[in-house]
Chain A
Amino acid sequence: MADDPKKTKQPATDLPARGSSAPPPGVASSTHIATRRSGSGLPLVPPRPATGEGIKPSIADALRETADAVQEAVRELTGKTQLAVPVAVVQPTPAQIRAADALSRTLLSPRPPSGPQGSRGPSPPAPAPAPGEPAAGETKPVDMVTLKVDGREVSVPRGTNVLEACLKAGVEVSYFCYHPGLSSPAVCRQCLVEVVGQPKLVPSCYTPVADQMEVLASSPRALLARQQMLEFTLVNHPVDCPICDKAGECLLQKHYMDWDGKDSRTDFDKVHKPKVVDLGPYIVLDAERCILCTRCIRVCDEVAGQHQLEMAWRGDRQELVVAPGQRLDNPYSLNTVDVCPVGALTSKDFRFRMRVWELYTVDSICPGCATGCNIEVHHHQGEVWRLVPRENREVNGYWMCDEGRFTYKELRRARVAGARIGMGKGMPGQVASIDKAVSYAAERLGRICDDKGTVGLVFGAQAQNEALYALYKVAELLAEQGVPVRRYVLGRAPRPERQDNILRSADVNPNTAGAQLLAGPGAGGLAELRADLGAGVLKALWMVGEDVPIGAEELPALLPLLDRLQLLIVQAVHDTEIVRRAQVILPAAAWAEVDGTFTNAKGMVQRIRRAVDPPGTARPHLELVGLMSQKLGLARGQGWQGSPRQAFLHMTGAITATLPPPDMSGPIPAPLRGFARAEWGRDMPPVQLRFANARG
């Protein structure tokens, strides 16, 4: 599987693409005015040439090379950071130098083998070559083949198919059954091209390239053949566009407009097939609309690894059916809806609810688990309507799990929409403005700090890196004042049954790695928090994120412990029992409502973007932490807490400043490497899908 030349969004890294023998794709080259969304493919890693051409005799050498690569990246990045950050921030104050020292000690000290939650430790150190990838693939120089497509010369690795070569050469070819993430069975015959010297037209998705091959993808003969294939496909296609959920991003519609545009010539009845077939918990099949491309079958077979769909009958009676004794219920089943070129498979969740072309798209990261699948958030009129996967071969390929798709529903479930001040301990609080609540919280917290009472800070694994970094700065400044500070990393309870080797991770928090890195090595987990609460050490607790890794049955045991605190401040997204114990409740914006970054389990720092407005007066975690630290007198004139971008630059600058000198050998923690390479990326104005020019 070679790179899809249309979407060379992910720039080069030293991690080879999954299942790819090709060199990493180059930098996205499209700077044409047409690509309004050119900022969409946010390179989270600065593009740079691939390193490591030579043979790697040992793992140690590989690691050394990786370290060098990191240094190179850091040098690049620090240079950039200094340009972007105002001088006042760049010039390190003594406090910052101390902070950097502390952070570097934190980061470089050996870390405990298992995380405080006991679920996932820090990521395996320095996975320089991907574990499953044979080193031989790297060592052998890639065998390139040069061929001509419509007179344009193009070089592709041997084994690439002609369709990919055509696309790489910038020659559009229509196709239905081909998908860059799946195998090619050449069933649709929509990608026929002419190859000089061959008597018949060949399906380009099934024909491997050969040296000096001459492909005529746009010859009249090939175009006519493709038009005729399309006409065949349309013969039995129902006139369903008005009620079809795919209309607007339908490949059939797109190909008809791009390649055909002819009138109908048929005057007989269409073949009728079952219209509403329940295939599984999430999916409905309309067999009439199916164009028999078998993409969905291959998704089940190749992505989910479960054979759940099959073709039955033949000819124009051919029909998609579930395999005997099966239902379409694998955890990746909704990918079949995405890959379906027409509206045959539709999601029950999305069916009839919204038209796709009305939706606005924003690139983001799935908050469902630590994998951090790249997604597009599709929203309209302030509501998120669906999440769809976005291509990133390093993380999720083209896919995401069903569970992740439904995380958007949490955005409108039991949200904390306004600040409250109260007695805590489960008693209803009083509605207050955010300013008032923050002032009150800061005043009481300040009093506890003055008395040198122990303050606990909870780094929520659902919160964004920027907010947690701001909290880290608070912790540091409090410690500077002599206030005893204890740090904890909390998140949602792990679900080991989710763990598979595809995409789903047992850790259901999107930012565990980031939270652990920013909380530092001394940070505890729930056990430590419980012990400290039980011992009565803590006087105040400030939680950024309300999640705790226990279920409802264990919660009653924890709540009385929280009541022993003098002050509990919770920046809460959802209303839970814990939140109701707090004296000060600050409403926080959820993941789809903020700009920021998450660090996934591999340590990749990935950008999330604001799609919709938060409910009520909810504000981003970062802003709330910034307000609190201002009121506490800890901000010291630093304005970076006000802007997620500034906070990000500040954070990456501070972290990269702590990186080891070039001669340092040994593993570098993955999250650290992620931070060193992270980029904020460009701002993306919301684009309606019908004008996005990318889908359907």
Chain B
Amino acid sequence: MAQAPHAPQEPTEGSKPRRGRVGVRVVGRPDSLEQRLYLPEVLRGLGVTMRHFFANVVGRKYTVTVQYPEEKAPYPERFRGLHRLMHREDGSVRCVACMLCPTACPAHCITIVAEDTGDGKEKRPKIFEIDELRCVVCGLCVEACPCDAIRMDTGRHAPAVVHRGDAILGKVDLLKLGGPSQATQGGKGATWREEQ
């Protein structure tokens, strides 16, 4: 706006766009006898809606609705839905409770309590809870996971629940939704490049 102000153009209907640094097009303001007479244009409009109506009745040409509970619109591949926790080969949880997902979560919906796996070397989540009511489905937790443990590719949206507590998914629920992950992991150096 530091430039010189632009004066409004002479309003002529369908004026040609002005060439130059700024192409300005003054919007039209149709004004005609038909319009003043009210009925012709209203009838013409009704014609449009009637065309839609009959096209829909006969061939469902313009219909975009689906009969929801019976028919479901498919979710795309990238759709972010319910979380799930992935498994290792032995079926145990891949997550090592590194807490990157609660750190990255802007809604603070993930609660993890870590525990020793028993040999003192590794960690695993003792508690892994996601409050799906708090979740804003941004996907930052998936991006943050360094172990391919958490994913949001279930293709299911958060279900309706009767009690708020039901919306908190625990480790068991999340593991049930999960599956085995094929990602190789752990100090392979650059060898994974050849494996690819």
Asked if the two chains touch in their complex, CB atoms less than 8 Å apart, one says: yes
Which A residues touch B121, using CB under 8 A?
Answer: 243, 275-276
Inter-chain CA distance A447–B17, complex, in Å, is 95
Give which listed residue, B98, B115, B116, B190, contacts A242 with CB less than 8 A: B98
Instruction: Kindly identify, within residues 88 to 117 of chain B, every residue whose CB is under 8 Å from any CB belonging to chain A.
Output: 96-100, 102-103, 114-116
Taking the closest CB of chain A, its distance from the CB of B141, in whole angstroms, is 14
Stretch of A74-82, A352-360, A409-417 on the interface side: A352-360
**Nearest chain B residue, comparing its CB with the CB of A278:** B120
Inter-chain CA distance A241–B98, complex, in Å, is 8
Stretch of A264-272, A552-560, A617-625 on the interface side: A264-272
Inter-chain CA distance A516–B103, complex, in Å, is 47
**Nearest chain A residue, comparing its CB with the CB of B126:** A352
B189 & A268 in contact (Cβ 8 Å cutoff): yes
**CB-CB contacts of A357-380 with B at 8 A, as 1s and 0s?**
110000000000000000000000
Which A residues touch B189, using CB under 8 A?
Answer: 264, 266-270
A239 & B186 in contact (Cβ 8 Å cutoff): yes
Query: Given that A264-B190, A268-B189 are contacting pairs, would A353 and B114 also be in contact in the complex, using a CB cutoff of 8 Å?
Result: yes
Inter-chain CA distance A357–B96, complex, in Å, is 17
User: With an 8 A cutoff between CB atoms, is A238 at the interface?
Assistant: yes
**CB-CB contacts of B182-196 with A at 8 A, as 1s and 0s?**
000111011101100
Query: Given that A241-B98, A241-B146, A270-B187 are contacting pairs, would A352 and B115 also be in contact in the complex, using a CB cutoff of 8 Å?
Result: yes
The 10 closest A-B pairs by CB, nearest first: A242-B98, A267-B190, A276-B120, A355-B99, A239-B187, A266-B189, A243-B123, A242-B96, A275-B121, A352-B114
B103 & A243 in contact (Cβ 8 Å cutoff): no
Which A residues touch B103, using CB under 8 A?
Answer: 355, 357-358, 690
Which A residues touch B185, using CB under 8 A?
Answer: 239
Which B residues touch A437, using CB under 8 A?
Answer: none
A238 & B187 in contact (Cβ 8 Å cutoff): yes
Give which listed residue, B122, B187, B190, contacts A243 with CB less than 8 A: B122
User: With an 8 A cutoff between CB atoms, is B147 at the interface?
Assistant: yes
Instruction: Kindly identify, within residues 3 to 55 of chain B, every residue whose CB is under 8 Å from any CB belonging to chain A.
Output: none
Q: Which residues of B contact A (CB under 8 A)?
A: 96-100, 102-103, 114-116, 119-123, 146-147, 185-187, 189-191, 193-194
A352 & B98 in contact (Cβ 8 Å cutoff): no
User: With an 8 A cutoff between CB atoms, is A284 at the interface?
Assistant: yes
**Nearest chain B residue, comparing its CB with the CB of A348:** B120
**CB-CB contacts of A607-631 with B at 8 A, as 1s and 0s?**
0000000000000000000000000
Taking the closest CB of chain A, its distance from the CB of B109, in whole angstroms, is 15
B119 & A242 in contact (Cβ 8 Å cutoff): no
Taking the closest CB of chain A, its distance from the CB of B22, in whole angstroms, is 39
Inter-chain CA distance A241–B146, complex, in Å, is 9
B123 & A352 in contact (Cβ 8 Å cutoff): yes
Inter-chain CA distance A207–B189, complex, in Å, is 35
Inter-chain CA distance A352–B116, complex, in Å, is 7
Taking the closest CB of chain B, its distance from the CB of A483, in whole angstroms, is 55
User: With an 8 A cutoff between CB atoms, is A247 at the interface?
Assistant: yes
25 contacts between A and B (CB under 8 A): A239-B185, A242-B98, A242-B100, A242-B146, A243-B96, A243-B121, A243-B123, A247-B98, A264-B190, A265-B190, A266-B189, A266-B190, A267-B190, A267-B191, A268-B191, A269-B187, A270-B187, A270-B189, A275-B120, A275-B121, A284-B120, A355-B98, A355-B99, A358-B99, A358-B102
Taking the closest CB of chain A, its distance from the CB of B184, in whole angstroms, is 11
Which A residues touch B102, using CB under 8 A?
Answer: 358
Which A residues touch B99, using CB under 8 A?
Answer: 355, 358
Inter-chain CA distance A355–B97, complex, in Å, is 10
**Nearest chain A residue, comparing its CB with the CB of B113:** A353
Which B residues touch A242, using CB under 8 A?
Answer: 96-98, 100, 123, 146-147
Among A247, A355, A690, chain B packs the most CB atoms within 10 A around the CB of A355
**Nearest chain B residue, comparing its CB with the CB of A277:** B120
Taking the closest CB of chain A, its distance from the CB of B11, in whole angstroms, is 51
Which A residues touch B190, using CB under 8 A?
Answer: 264-267
**CB-CB contacts of A218-251 with B at 8 A, as 1s and 0s?**
0000000000000000000011011100010000
